[in-house]
Amino acid sequence: MGDDSDGTAAATTPPIDTERYTGTLRTGGTVVLGADRLVVDRGDEPVVVDLDDVVEVSLQDIDWFLAVMSVALIGFGLLSLDRSVLLGGAFAVAGAGSLALTYRKRYTLRVQVTGRTDPLRCFPADPQALLAELEQALAD
Three-state secondary structure readout of 81-101: HHCCHHHHHHHHHHHHHHHHH
pLDDT tens digit sequence for 89-120: 999 999 999 999 999 989 999 999 888 888 88
pLDDT tens digit sequence for 35-85: 888 888 887 888 888 888 888 899 988 899 999 999 999 999 999 999 999
* pTM tops 0.85: no
Task: Report which of residues 139 and 89 the model is more confident about.
Answer: 89
* pLDDT (0 to 100) of residue 15: 59
* pLDDT (0 to 100) of residue 73: 97
Question: Are 120 and 127 in contact, with CB atoms under 8 Å apart?
Answer: no
Domain boundaries, the chain: 20-59+121-138, 64-103
* pLDDT (0 to 100) of residue 9: 40
Closest by CA to 35, choosing from 14, 21, 24, is 21
Burial 94-106 (b: 16+ CB within 10 A, else e): ebeebbeebeeee
Mean pLDDT of the region 127-134 = 89
Q: In 10-133, at which residue ranges do the beta strands (DSSP E only) sit? A: 19-24, 30-34, 37-41, 47-50, 54-60, 108-113, 120-122
Phi–psi pair at 31, nearest 5 degrees: -130, 130
